[in-house]
Amino acid sequence: MAAGKEYYDILGVKKDASADEVKKAFRRLARKHHPDAGGDEEKFKEMNEAYEVISDPEKRKQYDEFGQYFGGNVPPGYGGAGAGWPGGGAGASSYQNVNLGDLGDMGDIFGSVFGGGGGSRKRAHRGTDLTYEVSLSWDEALEGVSTKVEVQRAAKCGTCHGSGAKPGTSPTTCPTCKGSGNVSQGQGLFGFSRPCQRCSGTGKIIEQPCSACRGKGRVVRIKPITVNVPAGVSDGGKIRFSGKGQPGEGGGPAGDLYVITKVKPHPFLTRDGADVLMELPLTVAEAALGTEIRIPAPSGETVMIKIKAGTQDDKVFRLKGKGAPKLNAKGRGDLKVRTRIVVPTGLSAKDKELLEQFAQSHQEDVRAHIV
């Protein structure tokens, strides 16, 4: 062990960590640093060294007692590594040459994390995600709709039946990896495998590619997919349809389909999530004298709003549960009605005379607070 290297620190565990805690820490680090997963090879070697010692009760006991001198590094005054010194002699560093298969449950760890303890395996790849836009009317967004989208998806080539080889020929076993799809690098505990570059990890070589799919075994097809848009979607919303994207490779799962909703604007309604905002025009007389107005609600019914005498501009009336459906939840949002007082234009002579009389009878100073 190099000077200053602390096995417990490398694994990120305390000195009194249980065997189960050590194993869990190693699993986490293995996923992160294994070279097959694009990790740091040096860190991978370092954590392997630490795990083999700390996971072995006898070696861990010796390491806890002798620290940095464990494994044949002789402390001052001993003169040399011998039979009586832990890890000394010919077997001082034998653990550094142990294969994964010799490590018991450590081989199982690599099997569950990487699909096999460094042996040959076909690599599964998840299909890519697809994104499409769907145009909806205002009512369709509120009520929900079932619609079709034309999706370009990969499908098995009908000419070569997915083999990628010209009809009448077949793929051959890759001579470099012998069909495993992987090539090994290094030996012993620190050995690992990488995808074979010659066959791109497939284990097969196509000498004469299919002209229809150019050796890929798949071609692009336009396929209509029915998607159910839920009630309450808004403009710019994103809906995920699991497994409706591109099919995976090597037995991998299909990607997802994301539908972006584009909702056409309404003439006088706007959305704020499940809440709907309506601007209600009022004449000066209606605002001053009060009135009752029946309006259509997004819930599909008509509701009556009572305008009190003296209602001001920008007054908001909130009607509970009369808005749009809540997406992925029960109930509806609110309908918020904002008043907009409309000042008349094109007054007749009589209209002006009446307004002047009204102004003379109401001499209160409405701007007293700013002058």
pTM above 0.85, yes or no: no
Query: Per-residue pLDDT tens for 6-42?
Result: 888 888 899 889 988 988 888 888 877 776 666 777 7
Mean per-residue pLDDT for 98-116?
Answer: 42
pLDDT grade for 91, boundaries at 50, 70 and 90: very low
At 371 the pLDDT is 60
Query: Per-residue pLDDT tens for 246-269?
Result: 888 777 898 999 999 999 999 989
- Contacts from 105-109 at CB under 8 Å and sequence distance 24+? 105/23, 106/26, 106/51, 106/52, 106/55, 109/23, 109/26, 109/27, 109/30
Query: Per-residue pLDDT tens for 321-362?
Result: 999 999 888 899 999 999 999 999 889 999 999 888 888 887
| Beta-carbon count within 10 A of 124 CB | 12
Query: Per-residue pLDDT tens for 207-242?
Result: 999 999 988 888 988 888 898 999 999 999 999 999
Token digits for 16?
């009194």
Helix (H, G, I), strand (E, B) or coil at 7: helix
At 46 the pLDDT is 84
CA 95 to centroid of chain Cα atoms: 41
At 151 the pLDDT is 87
**Phi, psi of 261, deg, nearest 5:** -90, 130
Q: Which of 30, 184, 188 is nearest to 98 (CA)?
A: 188
At 306 the pLDDT is 96
At 167 the pLDDT is 93
